[in-house]
Amino acid sequence: MTIRSPILILVNDEDLVFKALADPTRRALLDSLFVRDGQTLTQLESELEMTRFGVMKHLRLLEDAGLVVTRRQGREKLHFLNPVPIRLIHDRWIDKYTEGHTRALLDLKAELERDEPEDRT
Amino acid sequence: MTIRSPILILVNDEDLVFKALADPTRRALLDSLFVRDGQTLTQLESELEMTRFGVMKHLRLLEDAGLVVTRRQGREKLHFLNPVPIRLIHDRWIDKYTEGHTRALLDLKAELERDEPEDRT
DNA sequence: AGGATAGGTGACCGAATGGTCACATGTCAA
DNA sequence: TTGACATGTGACCATTCGGTCACCTATCCT
């Protein structure tokens, strides 16, 4: 008999993770949870220019992908950010031996952008 | 007058990166380049069940996203994996103070899966 | 109890995406 | 120079995706 861990369930399907990250609204939701964890649907909706139904649909995809974990509290549903799938993406294509080079490039990039700030989505 | 670095051009639009990663064929291309870097279009096509045109279209998106860098050599075009955008995704949602916890969770997951191997896409 | 509030379901439509093909350009090698 | 090879372009079609709405269920509070 094998024991099935909750973590295995959280990060089951990689395709769901990448599909979930492909939408800017869903990335904004992750950003919001990164700043303040455990928000409800209504709280998250108030920060976006979208209907509640749209936000709900996006949160559903994030939850299916394991990027967001939820906990019910009375009639409210709290949403929490789960960093594990993101870390797995990193580990997939970043070689441990070349990770130093990547870090060095990013440091250089930050150095250059300090003089020339650039707008991002 | 400001100097525009090549690195800034490589990682310009985050949306292109996530859209590029959202397709399983494009992820397979990155996997192939991770194993053997600098492959041509024809080499990459031979590993996939798809027309040359389809593969070309996918490589175009990966290049626009900065995930793949190319170099022409005669009539051939060599493709190289660029890890910088992946590292940026990681840094966005992995807090440096909680990174240890994430690593610990993944170690535990690996421990559990050693007894119970699971198939992935 | 009963109204207000938080969350959920299924259908629907316009827009974007994945994949293929006919055709075109540039390069090597005999 | 001529034919073979590697790569590129634009149009086209089936499918998927993002967002909204009408309608429904569950919980809280007076």
Model ipTM value: 0.81
Q: Distance between CA atoms of B6 and A109, rounded to whole angstroms?
A: 10
Q: B46-91, pLDDT tens digit by residue? A: 999 999 999 999 999 999 999 999 999 999 999 999 999 998 899 8
Q: Tell me if residue A8 falls in helix, strand or coil.
A: helix
Q: What pLDDT, on a 0 to 100 scale, did the predictor assign at position B10?
A: 41
Contact partners, residue B111, CB within 8 Å, separation at least 6: none
Q: A13-58, pLDDT tens digit by residue? A: 889 999 999 999 999 999 999 999 999 999 999 999 999 999 999 9
- Using a 7 Å CB cut-off, which residues contact strand D? A 19, 22-23, 25, 50-51, 53-54, 57-58, 61, 74-75; B 40-42, 52-53, 56, 59-60, 75-77
Whose tokens are 């709900």? That residue is: A56
Q: Do A109 and B4 touch (CB under 8 A)?
A: no
The residues facing A39 across adjacent strands are A79
Q: Assess whether pLDDT exceeds 50 at residue A7.
A: no
Residues A89 and B86 sit within 8 Å (Cβ to Cβ): yes
Q: What pLDDT, on a 0 to 100 scale, did the predictor assign at position A115?
A: 60
Class of domain A6-86: mainly alpha
Q: Distance between CA atoms of A85 and A19, rounded to whole angstroms?
A: 12
Average pLDDT for A95-106: 74
**What is the number of alpha carbons within 13 Å of residue A15 lying toward its C-beta?**
7
Going from N- to C-terminal start, the domains of chain B cover 6-82
Nucleotide nearest residue B54, measured CA to C1': C19
Higher pLDDT, B117 or A53: A53
Four-way CATH pick for B6-82: 2.60.120.620, 3.30.70.260, 1.10.10.10, 1.10.3720.10? 1.10.10.10
Higher pLDDT, B1 or B110: B110
Q: What pLDDT, on a 0 to 100 scale, did the predictor assign at position B18?
A: 97
Q: Which amino acid is at A52?
A: R
Q: Distance between CA atoms of A31 and A25, rounded to whole angstroms?
A: 10
Q: What pLDDT, on a 0 to 100 scale, did the predictor assign at position A113?
A: 65
Q: What pLDDT, on a 0 to 100 scale, did the predictor assign at position B12?
A: 56
Chain B touched by A30 (CB under 8 Å)? yes
Q: What pLDDT, on a 0 to 100 scale, did the predictor assign at position B62?
A: 97
Q: Assess whether pLDDT exceeds 90 at residue B111.
A: no
Q: Assess whether pLDDT exceeds 90 at residue B39.
A: yes
Instruction: Tell me the average pLDDT of chain B.
Output: 83
Instruction: Tell me the average pLDDT of chain A.
Output: 83
Q: Distance between CA atoms of A63 and A86, rounded to whole angstroms?
A: 14
Within a 10 A sphere around the Cβ of B64, how many other Cβ atoms?
Answer: 15
On chain B, the residues whose CB falls within 8 A of the CB of A112 are 3, 5, 7-8
Q: Distance between CA atoms of B41 and B32, rounded to whole angstroms?
A: 12
Residues B81 and B35 sit within 8 Å (Cβ to Cβ): no
Does residue A69 lie within 7 Å of nucleic acid chain C, judged by its CB? no
Q: B7-38, pLDDT tens digit by residue? A: 333 445 889 999 999 999 999 999 999 999 99
